[in-house]
Amino acid sequence: MPGAMIAALVFTVALLVTTAYFILGSIPLLVLKHDTPLDARFIRGFFNIYYRAAVVTASATAISYAVAGRPGLATGAAVLALLAILLRRMIIPKMAMLGDQIQSNDMDAIPGFRKMHATAIAINIAQLAAIVWSLAVSRL
pLDDT-flagged residues of the chain (< 70): 1, 140
pLDDT number for residue 8: 93
Q: What is the pTM of this model?
A: 0.90
pLDDT number for residue 140: 61
CA distance 77 to 54: 10
Contact 84, 55 (CB under 8 A): yes
CA distance 111 to 109: 6
Q: Please compute, for residue 109, the number of CA atoms within 13 A of its CA located in the half-sphere on the CB side.
A: 19
pLDDT number for residue 3: 87
pLDDT number for residue 1: 62
